[in-house]
């Protein structure tokens, strides 16, 4: 038996690691020091503004106005956070709006658990979560007073639009992707034209068209509420991008997969449902999460069409004469809300990408 001598790589000590990372050459040292100085200056100014010199507490509006400590005025958040989160939702019913948002967040967290990743569980989870959200928000059932969509607002409206878009857009995207790679040339080419056209238009113009223009070209019974038209337009836009992502996932599959399924005598829908789509989604998971992140961020565009989403309600919260000096603080607060959602989702996406890469090696 031969002795295997393990290759010994000398592990650098802590001090050596620091030196290698920050001070390996003279230029490295200078770069490190300059950036450290900038970072300390930025960090210090930020801490001073946001914490040391800041004003807290709901009743401090006058202290803020006379300025004071020279820092941020978080009183505006303490005083107006309800508007940002719930918009014009009736005050006594706002717990429903909060609970509904919490349910959607839980649904989002649960869909990160691999146990739910099956073609049956994931749709069921989302449809059930969305239904619970809608019933809680809309009311009219189980003794809850009815609150119509016109009174929805703030974070709840943003979450509603986002969830509805993903829920509608995902099946649509699968249909688009299948049509796009159909073997029948007219279907494939027409779909390609539709997808490419919509992808080269700005989202804002699509939303605008659906909100303002569509009523002109629809018969009266089909017009519906402006909110649902915008959701339909956004879902169409999402579906066109997502279809291309799914198609990319399908193209990465070796031809043998489909040929083997054919050889086993599977029908078209069996091949798609059991062989192609599950693997395509696995391949397309990182860009899909990226697309969902972008979709959540761009939901904020509905504020331009005139909806009272979390962006617009943030502006409204600091738009009164009482708080008009605290706009920046309000934007920072709304920005933090977005940051928490988007950052955690994109970190999760990056983690998944690493994990999947390990799996296929």
Q: Which is nearer to other proteins, 22 or 117 (CB)?
A: 22
- CB of 333 vs other proteins, minimal distance in Å: 11
Shortest CB 228 distance to other proteins, Å: 18
Alpha helices in 181-309 (DSSP H): 185-199, 203-208, 214-217, 226-251, 255-263, 268-270, 277-298, 302-305
List residues near other proteins by CB under 8 A: 21-22, 28, 31-32, 35-36, 38-39, 179, 184-187, 190, 194, 197, 200-205, 208-209, 212-213, 216-219, 297-298, 300-301, 303-304, 311, 315, 327-328, 331-332, 334-335, 338-339, 342-343, 346
Question: Could you tell me which residues come within 8 angstroms of residue 309 by beta carbon, excluding any fewer than 6 positions away?
Answer: 153, 154, 157, 158, 161, 299, 300, 302, 303
What is the rounded CA–CA span in Å between residue 177 and residue 247? 6
Please report how close the Cβ of residue 197 comes to other proteins at its closest, in angstroms.
7
The residue among 201, 271, 199 whose CA lies nearest residue 239 is: 199
304: its two tokens: 């331009």
Minimal CA–CA distance to 84: which of 178, 9, 160, 156?
156
Complex with other proteins: residue 51 or 124, whichever CB lies closer: 51
Question: DSSP letter at 70?
Answer: S
In whole angstroms, the minimum distance from the beta carbon of 187 to other proteins comes to 5
Helices of type H across 92-225:
94-110, 121-138, 154-180, 185-199, 203-208, 214-217
Any long-range contacts for 18-25 (C-beta under 8 Å, 24+ apart)?
Answer: none
Residue (113 or 193) nearer to other proteins, CB:
193
Q: Name the residue nearer to other proteins (CB basis): 129 or 238.
A: 238
> In this complex, which beta carbon is closest to other proteins, that of residue 144 or of residue 345?
345
Computed from CA positions of residues 194, 293, 115, 352, in that sequence, does the dihedral angle turn out positive or negative? Answer: positive
Least CB distance to other proteins at residue 361 (A): 16
In angstroms, give the least distance from the CB of 283 to other proteins: 18
Q: In the complex, what is the shortest distance from the CB of residue 32 to other proteins, in angstroms, rounded to a whole number?
A: 4
């Amino acid at each position: 038996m031969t002795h295997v001598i393990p290759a010994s790589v000398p592990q650098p000590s802590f001090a050596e690691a620091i030196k290698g990372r920050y001070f390996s050459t003279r230029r490295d040292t200078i770069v490190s020091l300059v950036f450290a100085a900038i970072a300390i200056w930025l960090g210090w100014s930020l801490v001073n503004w946001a914490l040391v010199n800041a004003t807290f507490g709901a009743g401090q509006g006058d202290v803020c106005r006379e300025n004071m400590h020279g820092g941020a005025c978080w009183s505006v958040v303490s005083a107006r956070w309800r508007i940002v989160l719930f918009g014009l939702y009736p005050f006594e019913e706002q717990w429903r709006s909060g609970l509904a948002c919490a349910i959607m967040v839980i649904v989002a967290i649960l869909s990160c658990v691999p146990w739910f990743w099956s073609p049956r569980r994931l749709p069921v989870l989302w449809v059930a979560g969305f239904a619970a959200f809608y019933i809680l928000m809309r009311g009219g059932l189980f003794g809850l007073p009815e609150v119509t969509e016109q009174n929805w607002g703030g974070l709840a409206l943003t979450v509603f639009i986002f969830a509805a878009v993903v829920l509608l857009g995902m099946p649509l995207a699968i249909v688009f992707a299948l049509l796009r790679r159909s073997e029948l040339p007219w279907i494939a080419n027409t779909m390609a034209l539709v997808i490419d056209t919509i992808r080269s238009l700005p989202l804002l113009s699509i939303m605008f068209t659906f909100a303002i223009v569509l009523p002109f070209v629809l018969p009266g019974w089909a017009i519906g509420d402006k909110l649902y038209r915008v959701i339909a337009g956004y879902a169409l836009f999402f579906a066109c991008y997502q279809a291309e992502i799914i198609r990319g996932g399908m193209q990465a599959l070796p031809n043998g997969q489909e040929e083997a399924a054919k050889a086993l005598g599977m029908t078209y829908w069996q091949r798609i449902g059991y062989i192609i789509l599950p693997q395509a989604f696995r391949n397309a998971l990182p860009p899909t999460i990226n697309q969902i992140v972008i979709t959540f961020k761009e939901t904020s565009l509905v504020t331009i069409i005139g909806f009272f989403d979390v962006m617009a309600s943030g502006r409204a919260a600091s738009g009164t004469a009482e708080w008009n000096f605290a706009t920046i603080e309000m934007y920072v607060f709304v920005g933090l809300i977005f940051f928490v959602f988007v950052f955690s989702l994109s970190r999760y996406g990056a983690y998944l990408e690493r994990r999947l890469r390990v799996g296929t090696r």
